[in-house]
Amino acid sequence: MSAVGTTNGARELTKADFQSAAETRWCPGCGDYAILAAVQGFLPELGIPPERTVFVSGIGCAGRFSYYMNTYGMHGIHGRAPALATGLAAARADLSVWIVSGDGDALSIGGNHLIHALRRDVPVKILLFNNRIYGLTKGQASPTSELGKVTKSTPFGSTDAPFNPISLALGAGATFVARTVDTDKQHLPAMLRAAAAHPGAALIEIYQNCPVFNDGAFDALSDKQTRDANVIALEHGAPIRFGAQREWGVVRGEGGDLVVVAVAEVGEDALLVHDAHREDPSLAFALSRLGDLEGGATPIGIFRSAPHAAAAANLAGELLEARAGFGEAGLERLLHAADTWSVGG
């Protein structure tokens, strides 16, 4: 494992410093390969050596990620990656802690852990791989599978309304929420940079293709022939417009909701200007409700980046202060301060 950084005269880190010797074993064409390459290529920019970087993963195809990183890591049990990472971030402020989780792992059994990590603004970076299917267990419907989806677990079509991960994160109070696509070699690293710079919890939903059980689910957003018409690129401070000729835009409708309109009909001055830094998350939430990949254009980019005044980076410091105040003897007194019972004997 490399022990060099980018300061004090040490050589600069490279992608090779973050590549483990383990053989990558995903299905041919899996979007996970593209995400892994993007992450390994981006991390040297941070100047944080591998031994101060940790990847915690859950169960699922994405769970293999931690094995392929030449960093510290842990392959946790189903859905518990946020809980493990919270403890680590609280105890070690000097570490860069990342979570890798799939839509099934993060939003089913792990949903409770995810929303509380976001609510507490724990300083961890969460990469949520969303392929809208259970891949590792061979093609069952996931919490993000669309209505009517025919899978091995829903042979007559799914009747459950799917989770919108962006809406869920914003509803939990997440201070950084973004969405990107696995094969976008420019946009994905840009979202990683922004998340890494954020002082609190940061969640990036990554649309990730599963070529075996849900192939082409995001073609509308990744195919060169269709992406301009379907990707609503979010840029802070810029009017929200898109299309091959930037002919479409987003405005507030009469009822206050957001609607897509022809720019030629309303004029650019009528378009909504994106403000990712607003303390009030209502605009970001409204944007998250646009598009469902069933014919509607979909926002891609940073929905919200609004750090709390009291950043969660103080979490580890508060824990250390509490430890110092109690000491070993104090902790012993605390544990036995109330009624205790002895079982057996």
Residue 133 lies in a domain: yes
Alpha helices in the chain (DSSP H): 31-42, 81-91, 103-107, 111-119, 165-171, 187-197, 219-222, 227-230, 263-266, 282-288, 315-335
From the number of C-beta atoms within 10 Å of its C-beta (0-12, 13-18, 19+), residue 92 rates as: middle
- Give me the pLDDT at residue 322, please: 63
Residue among 60, 44, 55 nearest 11 (CA):
44
- Give me the pLDDT at residue 266, please: 96
Residue 82 lies in a domain: yes
What CA–CA distance (Å, rounded) separates 221 from 179?
Answer: 12
User: Coil, strand, or helix at residue 56?
Assistant: strand
Structural domains counted in the chain:
1
Residue 157 lies in a domain: yes
- Give me the pLDDT at residue 3, please: 38
Residue among 39, 137, 258, 162 nearest 248 (CA):
258
Q: Going by C-beta distance under 8 Å and a sequence separation of 6 or more, which residues neighbour residue 199?
A: 123, 307, 311, 312, 313
The pTM of this model reads: 0.90
CATH of the domain at 107: 3.40.50.970
Residue 327 lies in a domain: no
What CA–CA distance (Å, rounded) separates 307 from 274?
Answer: 17
pLDDT in tens, the chain (345 residues): 333 344 445 679 999 999 999 999 999 999 999 999 999 999 999 999 999 999 999 999 999 999 999 999 999 999 999 999 999 998 898 999 999 999 999 999 999 999 999 999 999 999 999 999 999 999 999 999 999 999 999 999 999 999 999 999 999 999 999 999 999 999 999 999 999 999 999 999 999 999 999 999 999 999 999 999 999 999 999 999 999 999 999 999 988 899 999 999 999 999 999 999 999 999 999 999 998 766 689 999 999 999 986 555 566 566 666 666 666 666 677 677 777 777 876
Residue 43 lies in a domain: yes
DSSP β-ladder status, 53-57 and 96-102: parallel
Residue 54 lies in a domain: yes
Inter-residue long-range contacts of 6-14, CB under 8 Å, 24+ positions, other chains counted: 6/44, 6/47, 7/47, 12/44, 12/47, 13/43, 13/44, 13/47, 13/49, 14/44
Q: Domain span at residue 130? A: 15-244+275-312
Residue 67 lies in a domain: yes
Alpha helices in 92-186 (DSSP H): 103-107, 111-119, 165-171
Residue 1 lies in a domain: no
